[in-house]
Amino acid sequence: MQLEQSLSPQPTPPNERGYEYDLVIVGGGIIGLTLASALKDSGLSVLLIEATFVSAAVAKGQAYAVHMLSSLIYQGIGVWDKMLPQIAKYCRVHLSDADSPHVVEFATDDLGTAELGYVAEHQALLQPLQEFVQNCPNVTYLCPAEVVNTQYQKDIVAIEIKIGDQLRTVKSKLLIAADGARSPIRQAAGIKTLGWKYWQSCIVAFVKPEKPHNNTAYERFWSSGPFAILPLPGNRCRIVWTAPHEEAKALCALDDEQFLRELTRRYGDQMGKLELLGDRFVFQVQLMQSDRYVLPRLALIGDAAHNCHPVGGQGLNLGIRDAAALAQVIQAAHQAGKDIGDIQILKGYERWRKLENLTILGFTDLLDRMFSNNFLPVVVVRRLGLWLLQRVPVLKVFMLKLMIGLKGRTPELAKR
């Protein structure tokens, strides 16, 4: 798909309304595109700015668990049918603790659904969203372009954009930061963050097992960190292997044969011989929560607002919910004739999402700390917890719904 390097269609001149766009989204990744797509029929004029044609996530072949609520949001937007042929569903989840013989199995019968969730490569989500936004008459997609300065004023925010060698300033009622964990927009606004980097890093890789994966996802906890296997189309799997930094670096430095040998020790032999596909990558794990999600004329979504441990595949899904929630809040304000950049309007979004995100951040942190150690009393407690989880249906269903996003407030998009 060719992305245009223009600002057409021409917005209303600023001398008529004082601004050119109702809102500007900085960051044309999955979360920024989700927000723009969710606003297709809102009556709001949107400028979406992205700095690069190919993101690091695309270059590394990143993949994600896509939770049930996220799929419902994309169905509500109208883009899910374009995504579905390129992604895999999972119908079972096997949860276990290291070498313990006890396995908690979540299945579709627990919820009465056809599947529990999906797994998608980055491009399988990104490309349909890009194509969808290109067909939204109210959205202008500007790429490559970079925000170099922002000035927040009483009624507008002025955004200076670098397009090639040229600078242009546009004015908007609201600026949305969807520009990642190191968000320049968040930093320039002086919004502080709380959190820490973990003692762990994640190794991610694609493998092709000899036997069918049977649409089953695995999460096995080891004292060094969680180890996940996610099914993908073409009988491929995505490995997310958490280990202390030095161990992760050493594992990634092994040749393919040695790496596969170590991988099989963790993976098990239930799928036969493994074939490594492509390169391996390592990234450090961190937890981060912004102390606020909004300021007058500014809102943060996705990784710009929060990061969590990858256990349970929560990160991307939290950002998708952010986008759906913010779209709902500002669209309702617009329909009521209110100023979408007003801090009281934006605080409605913050109240909705900040506590829910913090709950998931705390949940993933607790899981990692509970299972990433060999302290005997903790081992006893967590194995008792898994035993109860398998034998108490109410507890099992509650945990499953929490894992796949069916707890908390549901955006209207997901109810369509």
Q: Quick one: pLDDT at residue 401?
A: 92
Read off the pTM.
0.94
Does residue 241 belong to any structural domain of this protein? no
Domain membership flag for residue 5: no
Contacting residues for 246 by C-beta, under 8 A, at least 6 apart: none
Indicate whether 82 belongs to any domain.
yes
Q: How many domains does the chain have?
A: 1
User: Which CATH number covers residue 301?
Assistant: 3.50.50.60
CA angle 67, 68, 74 (to 5 degrees): 90
* pLDDT on residue 84: 96
What is the torsional sign of CA 347, 348, 350, 355?
A: positive
Q: Is 122 within a domain?
A: yes
- Angle (CA) 62-67-70 rounded to 5° is 95
Length of the chain counted residue by residue: 416
Residue with tokens 């493994």: 274
What is the spatial distance between Cα 199 and Cα 261, in angstroms, rounded to a whole number?
A: 24
- Whether 211 is in a domain gets the answer no
pLDDT at position 54: 62
Q: Report the alpha-carbon distance of residue 204 to residue 122 in Å, rounded.
A: 13
Which domain, by its residues, includes 54?
A: 14-87+118-195+287-381+408-415
Is 217 inside a domain boundary?
A: no
> What is the Cα–Cα distance from 65 to 316, expressed in whole angstroms?
8
Residue 18 lies in a domain: yes
Q: How do residues 128-170 score in pLDDT, each as one tens digit?
A: 999 999 999 999 999 899 999 999 999 999 999 999 899 999 9
The pLDDT, as a whole number, for residue 16 is 56
Using CB atoms within 10 Å of the CB of residue 341, give its burial: 0 to 12 exposed, 13 to 18 middle, 19+ buried.
buried
What's the pLDDT at 9? 40
Residues 52 and 3 sit within 8 Å (Cβ to Cβ): no
Stretches in the chain below the pLDDT threshold 70: 1-18, 54-60
Give the pLDDT of residue 322.
Answer: 98
Q: Which pLDDT belongs to residue 56?
A: 57
In this prediction, residue 232 carries a pLDDT of 96
Domain-located, residue 171: yes
